[in-house]
Every structure is written in structure tokens, then in C-alpha cells.
């Protein structure tokens, strides 16, 4: 699943006969409405075939993209109508073609959206979403279950059917180093907006937090309740106090304090978990429960989103550097830099208003 705004949360749905995931629905939690944004099985307006079985989904950087179990993909602009035709293509024709993960990023040279596919054929491929052509294709020697690109787009972290996550150059695929510490296959990873912290999760029930300035040992070791983590998400830049959300394959979602990584809040959901996604402004995250009887889309609003004492003060953003460290929340990006950071979706006035004290408000 993927959320591009508070009005648009995307997830795949099954055919009427409950066999394959072929359609992509967009739910608006604010209006309690649902529309089918794409039928990925066929593209009648362009006389093309789409994906037969959706296995992974992303909605970011202006692109909605889905990868399939059979080595195919579909994508279309996020702001397009349901009737707008999508673009489709082949990722691989290998005998083991499953697309395990996809994510997007903006090219540091052109600023245009790029799509990364991680596949069971042991390749990671980068597709230029504007031209619909592959710009990179790298073989990595093992099935790749998840990948994440660094904020500066120069490096990529990979986890797969081996016990050592790999750090590689994004453009060349060249291995920089392998990371030890896991005892089973990896299924989840993410890179924090500060470019320093990363997290990897494996079937051994362990999440390792890494510091990009020292690869020799993990910065922190986190454990799960009942099983391996299948999704890891750091809160976005400009989204308030930084956290790491960890979703196990079933039942448990953990919200970890990403300042110290010493405390967490756990939610017992009683459902198979199909994915998690933050809103771009960091105010909420969504969890998709996939059980037919008790599943559904769950929204969690961050209680500490506006708990920023310094916002009650009348000063300019550039003066944040002069405050005591305890008075300033640990954001991924310094307040003075947020106005010029395209990843931050809330303006200075918006960030100031969300922290206003309402205790003395008279209605």
C-alpha cells in the first residue's frame, strides 16, 4: 500500500472471484469513499496488457507504480484520472520473475522521477518514468527482496535471500560493503531523510539500525514480538519528531523513537499486515490489515506532531540555532534548512500553526 496524501491511499484489491490482485483502489479516508484508479490487468485505451498479479506498489514523486509476480509493471501519473491510460512494460522474462519491491526517487541530475524494481531474478533495475526506458540494470548474486536509495541518490541499500545486507553504488551497482549482524534472510530496509541512519529487517526477528559514518557494527539492535519485520519506514523530513515504524508480517506494528532508538510504542492489530505508509507531511501513517474478516485500513495520527515548545515563541526560523538543544525537537532536517528542502511538505507558517497551544482557546 502507499499513501500520497490524506485523501489518497492506494492498495491492490482482488478480482470478484478472489483469485488475483489486479486492480488498484484509491480510498479517501477523509470522505470515506473508494474509487478504482487503475485496472492493471488490461489497458484497453492503449491496447496493452498490464500486470496479471500485483506484488508491490508505490505512490510517490508524482508516480503510481505497481510491479507484478510475473515480471511486469504498470505506472501512471498520480494526478491522472481513473480513465487515464497507464504505461506498462516488462521487468524480466526470467523463469523466476517475481517483483519483490519497488520505490521511486528523483534523479539528482534531471530532477525527473525514477522507478527502482527489485526482483527474484537477482537484478535491481532503474526505470526512467518519463521515457519508460531502463537506465540501470545490476546483477547482485541473490534474490533482492527490498531496496532503498539514499537521500542524495548516490547509494543504495539492499536486502535479500542472504544474511548480509549490501551497500552498493546506485549508478554502477558496485558493492561498497556487506553488513553483518543478521542470521536469516532480509525482507525490509529504509534510509532516513538525514542520510545517516538506515534500518534493515530480517526473518530472524531483528531490526538493525546503522550509521552511514561507520559500517563496522550496527548502531542499535531492535527486536520484534512474534516474527520478522516485512516493512520499515522512517518518518519523512519535516514530519515532526523523528520515528521509525516497524511492521511485522502479522499482528504487531512498532513505533520507535528514532532519536535514541531506546523506546517504542507497540500496537497489536490482530491481522496480517500488508504494508504501512506515512503521509508526506508526517502527520499520520496508515496500516493495511489484510485479513478478510478483521482487516481494513487503519490510520494512526501522531500524538506528538505538534508538541514543539519552541513554536510558541515569536522568532525567525534562522534563530533556531541559538536555542538550547532540549528545546528543539530532533527533526531529520534543521529548521533553518526546511524552507529550501523539497521533501518538506509543510511551510514555515504551517509548521508553526500545527504547534499552537489550544488549551486556552474559547469557542
Q: Please check whether residue 40 is in contact with residue 54, taking contact to mean a CB–CB distance below 8 angstroms.
A: yes
Q: Could you tell me the sign of the dihedral formed by the alpha carbons of 197, 200, 206, 212, in that order?
A: negative
CB 140 within 8 A of CB 124: yes
* Average pLDDT estimate for 200-224: 95
Who has greater pLDDT, 311 or 116? 116
Banded pLDDT at 50 (limits 50, 70, 90): low
The pLDDT assigned to 21 comes to 73
- In this structure, the strands spanning 21-28 and 33-39 are antiparallel
Could you tell me which residue, 47 or 291, shows the higher pLDDT? 291
320 DSSP assignment: G
pLDDT tens digit sequence for 229-277: 999 999 999 888 899 999 999 999 999 999 999 999 999 988 899 999 9
- Using one digit for the tens of pLDDT, what is the confidence trace for 82-114? 888 889 999 999 999 999 999 999 999 999 999
Residue 341: band (very low, low, confident or very high) from pLDDT cuts 50, 70, 90: confident
C-beta of residue 202 within 8 angstroms of C-beta of residue 163: yes
- Distance (Å, whole) CA 158 – CA 13: 28
pLDDT at position 46:
42
Residue 312 confidence (pLDDT) above 90 = no
Res. 195 pLDDT band, cuts 50 70 90: very high
Determine how β-strand 48-49 pairs with β-strand 54-60: unpaired
Element (H, E) at 283: none
pLDDT higher than threshold 70 for residue 361 = no
Q: C-alpha angle 63/3/247, rounded to 5°? A: 120
Q: Quick one: what percent of the chain has pLDDT higher than 70?
A: 85
Q: What is the mean pLDDT of the chain?
A: 86
Mean pLDDT of 157-165: 97
Reduce the secondary structure of 136-199 to three states and give it as a string.
EEEECCCCEEEEEECCCCCEEEEEECCCCCEEEECCCCCEEEECCCCCCCEEEEEECCCCCEEE
Alpha helices in the chain, H assignment, sequence order: 335-338, 348-354
In this predicted structure, the answer to whether residue 51 has a pLDDT above a threshold of 70 is: no
**Res 80 pLDDT > 80:** yes
Q: Rounded CA gap, 10 and 27, in Å?
A: 7
Residue 267: C-alpha distances to residues 32, 96, 190 (Å): 23, 35, 20
Dihedral sign from CA coordinates of 279, 26, 80, 102 = positive
Residue 322 pLDDT > 80: no
pLDDT mean over 273-283: 92
Mean pLDDT of 28-48: 72
Amino acid at each position: 500500500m502507499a499513501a500520497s496524501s490524506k485523501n489518497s491511499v492506494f492498495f491492490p484489491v482482488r478480482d470478484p472471484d478472489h483469485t488475483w490482485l489486479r486492480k488498484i483502489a484509491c480510498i479517501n479516508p477523509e470522505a470515506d469513499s473508494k474509487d478504482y484508479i487503475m485496472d492493471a490487468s488490461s489497458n484497453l485505451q492503449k491496447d496493452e496488457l498490464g500486470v496479471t498479479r500485483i506484488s508491490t506498489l508505490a505512490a510517490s514523486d508524482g508516480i503510481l507504480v505497481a510491479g507484478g509476480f510475473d515480471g511486469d509493471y504498470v505506472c501512471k501519473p498520480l494526478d491522472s484520472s481513473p480513465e487515464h491510460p497507464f504505461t506498462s512494460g516488462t521487468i524480466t522474462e526470467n523463469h523466476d520473475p517475481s517483483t519483490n519491491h519497488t520505490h521511486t526517487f528523483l534523479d539528482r541530475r534531471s530532477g525527473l522521477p525514477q522507478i527502482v524494481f527489485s526482483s527474484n531474478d537477482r537484478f535491481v533495475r532503474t526505470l526512467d518514468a518519463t521515457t519508460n526506458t531502463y537506465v540501470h540494470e545490476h546483477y547482485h548474486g541473490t534474490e533482492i527482496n527490498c531496496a532503498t536509495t539514499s537521500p542524495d541518490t548516490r547509494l543504495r541499500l539492499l536486502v535479500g535471500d542472504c544474511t548480509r545486507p549490501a551497500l552498493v553504488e546506485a549508478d554502477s551497482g558496485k558493492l561498497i560493503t556487506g553488513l553483518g549482524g543478521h542470521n536469516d534472510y532480509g525482507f525490509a530496509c529504509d534510509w532516513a531523510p538525514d542520510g545517516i541512519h538506515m534500518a534493515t529487517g530480517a526473518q530472524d526477528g531483528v531490526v538493525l539500525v546503522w550509521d552511514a559514518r561507520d559500517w563496522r557494527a550496527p548502531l542499535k539492535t531492535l527486536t520484534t514480538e512474534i516474527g520478522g519485520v516485512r516493512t520499515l519506514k522512517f518518518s519523512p523530513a519535516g514530519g515532526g519528531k523523528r520515528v521509525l515504524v516497524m511492521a511485522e508480517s502479522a499482528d504487531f506494528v512498532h513505533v520507535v523513537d528514532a532519536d535514541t532508538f531506546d523506546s517504542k510504542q507497540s500496537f497489536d492489530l490482530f491481522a496480517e499486515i500488508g504494508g504501512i505508509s506515512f503521509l508526506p507531511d508526517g502527520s499520520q501513517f496508515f496500516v493495511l490489515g489484510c485479513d478478510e474478516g478483521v482487516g481494513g485500513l487503519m490510520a494512526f495520527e501522531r500524538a506528538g506532531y505538534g508538541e514543539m515548545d519552541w513554536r510558541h515563541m515569536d522568532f525567525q526560523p534562522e534563530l533556531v540555532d541559538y536555542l538550547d538543544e532540549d528545546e528543539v525537537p530532533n527533526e531529520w532536517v534543521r529548521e533553518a534548512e526546511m524552507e529550501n528542502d523539497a521533501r518538506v511538505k509543510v511551510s514555515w507558517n504551517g509548521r508553526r500553526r500545527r504547534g499552537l497551544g489550544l488549551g486556552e482557546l474559547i469557542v
